[in-house]
Structure 1
């Protein structure tokens, strides 16, 4: 096969294609094809629609995320509020119990104070009553190795002309005195009749 004959065949084929294209493609056809292509305004409109859809989707996602976060924080706060309410209720109950206990202690204290005043009054009365059996003697001279009981009985007999027995004297002793002079003597007799006789 000859190379020059191949080129002439290819050249012939290209010429036929060229003439065929000239016959088939006209200017009107190209204009119609260009009109069918997307216009710039259509592209802007499509881009606008796509952007709006993307923004809407983004807005919805952000809104959902914010709502989820708000719900999470609200739930956490509600849980903490419930815990605080529970603690507050427990503290209120403890305070009420303490108030009840305090009232009870106050009542007991008032009762104890009343009993104490009553006991003090009775003690004062008993002390006064017991003193009616006491005789206090001043300037009762001291002696070496003194026997106060015997000395007292002798003095009462000699000076007051009264006869008392040893059994009539419950106790006798000198009182401590910070003043100069002879310390006084206190004598407790069995009953007040003996005291009246001596007085």
Structure 2
């Protein structure tokens, strides 16, 4: 065997070995690629499932938020109605302070006498005008209990309220019988810098800023927006 033949044979053997190595590597790469494709397909499939689940969860959250909003609005409306009904039931009520009463004293006679004195005999309250009269529980043991007077109609009530200043001057303040929710609303309105005044009248709460018309305010109203959009005087 000549030197050239030997060289040619070595070249062929080397080429054959390299071919086998390349073939083996190609097969291994193909296997790895196939495995990666399978994994990627599984990941893509799982991702699609997760996307669908995420969309379902978003819809569920959206539905729950809507139901929660609807529920909150329902609760607010129930509270509004309840508060209005309670206030309406007190429409002809008056609350008197600092009236000293003995255990056996007739409250009706006492209040009739006080109204007569304070009005300088200008207005007379009859027993038939009184629907109910009773003391409330007091926070202060050393002060007389507030007295609630319910009269037959708003005309009688307004006739008594005409002498409100005289009652205050006599150290017997008289007030509308306002619900706690409405009182809290009025107190809150009065803390706002843009509100000039807030008050109760005829079962409703009102407020205004300087130079604007009065606006009726209800529980849960966006009163800042409501008042600021009120027409000017």
Q: Does 1:106 align with 2:62?
A: no
User: Which has a greater percent of helix?
Assistant: 1
How far off its partner does 1:175 sit? 3.5
Larger radius of gyration: 1
Count of matched residue positions in the alignment of Structure 1 and Structure 2: 153
Q: Which of 136, 146, 149 is the equivalent residue of 2:95?
A: 136
Q: What is the root-mean-square deviation of aligned Cα atoms in Å?
A: 2.9
Counterparts of 1:1-199 in structure 2, within 5 Å, are 43-143=2-102, 145-146=103-104, 151-159=106-114, 160=116, 161-164=124-127, 168-169=131-132, 172-178=134-140, 181-188=143-150, 192=154, 195=157
What TM-score do you get using the length of structure 1 for normalisation?
A: 0.63
Q: Distance in 2 between matches of 1:184 and 1:90?
A: 68
How far off its partner does 1:91 sit? 0.8
Show CA shifts across 1:144-199 (max 9, x none).
Answer: x346xxx1222245454433369932x62223144963232123457657646766
User: Which has a greater percent of strand?
Assistant: 2
Identify the range of structure 1 (84-93 vs 130-139) with the bigger mean alpha-carbon deviation.
Answer: 130-139
How far off its partner does 1:60 sit? 1.4
Does the 8 A contact of 1:168 with 1:189 survive in 2?
A: yes
